[in-house]
Amino acid sequence: MTKVIAMAGKGGTGKTTTSALLTRYLLEKKETPLLLVDADSNANLNELLDLEVGLTLGQIRKELKSELPPNITRDQFMEMKIHQALIEESGFDLLVMGQPDGPGCYCAANQYLAMTMDKLAENYKYIIVDNEAGMEHLSRMNLRSIDYLLVTSDPSARGILTAKRISDITEPLGLEVKKQYLLVNRAPQPVPPALQEKIDEAVADSGMELGGIIPSSEALINQELNGESYLGLDDSADVVQTVNAMFDKIFAE
């Protein structure tokens, strides 16, 4: 049965980095096939995986509002276009949402998207959704049941507070979340007592468990500066060992 892993957190907290590292981890564990959905309007998951993006879901939704080819229904058109938009790689596919909706109503387009995602999801073991700060895309794609919500934060009081607020709104949004974890990225080592206190408070006052605290990493900085895929990171890199141990714990529970 397909499991959904959703990333959440304010901008710049490392959601995309975590998504790329999680992809590497699941590929290594042969937990495939995977569907990666880049639902951030500032899409850059493809860059961390060294992939080129052609067609996005945003472009498809705009096409749905214009005249369709003859002898094809809108749901058939949506399904065909989404398959064209899939970037197919060994062990995983990537789908990019693209820019947010412009003027006009996209209700019908989002309905066709949800119907198509229902069919598409059956082909994958895991779906990883790299979200914006909000989680509206999960509803649009009909992914209302989330197995793992990974809420990322930077090592700041504001980031930790935002992570807690995101955790708190899952129920009002009508999302069924089975497990929630707080991940703190780029943390100084050792973790300052004041930061640890904020982390402990957020975990105690929310539905989140502490997934892990990830230190800053020169290996990640160098990989990105060199334009190289995070999938090619060396197993011996400290950050890889840290996140792999963290994911072992999260996905064993």
pLDDT digits (tens, 9 = 90+) for 209-221: 999 999 999 999 9
Label residue 114 exposed, middle or buried (CB < 10 Å: 0-12, 13-18, 19+).
middle
Res. 62: pLDDT tops 60: yes
Of 3.40.50.1820, 3.40.50.300, 3.90.1150.10, 3.30.390.50, the CATH number of 3-252 is 3.40.50.300
Cα 233 to Cα 225: distance, rounded to the nearest angstrom? 13
Regarding beta strands 92-96 and 87-89, do their DSSP bridges make them parallel or antiparallel, or are they unpaired? antiparallel
Q: Comparing 176 with 27, which gets the higher pLDDT?
A: 27
Stretch 4-29: mean pLDDT: 94
Q: In what order do the strands lie in the sheet with 208-215?
A: 87-89, 92-96, 34-38, 126-130, 3-8, 145-153, 176-187, 208-215
Query: Please, where are the H alpha helices in the chain?
Result: 15-28, 45-48, 57-64, 74-85, 107-121, 136-140, 157-169, 193-204, 218-225, 238-252
Sequence ranges of the domains in the chain: 3-252
Spatial distance between the Cα atoms of 3 and 228, rounded to a whole number of angstroms: 28
Query: b/e for 163-172, b at 16 or more Cβ within 10 A?
Result: bbebbeebee
Half-sphere exposure of 186 (CA within 13 A, CB side): 15
Whether 105 has a pLDDT exceeding 70, the answer reads no
pTM: 0.92
Distances from the Cα of 220 to the Cα of 19, 154, 185, angstroms: 13, 16, 12
Residue 190 CA to residue 178 CA, distance in Å, equals: 31
Per-residue confidence (pLDDT) for residue 233, from 0 to 100: 96
Average pLDDT in the chain: 88
Q: Would you state the pLDDT for residue 174?
A: 79
Taking a C-beta distance cutoff of 8 angstroms, is the pair 118, 142 a contact?
yes
244: closest CA among 14, 28, 3?
28
pLDDT at residue 185, rounded to an integer: 96
Determine the average pLDDT of the residues in 179-195: 95
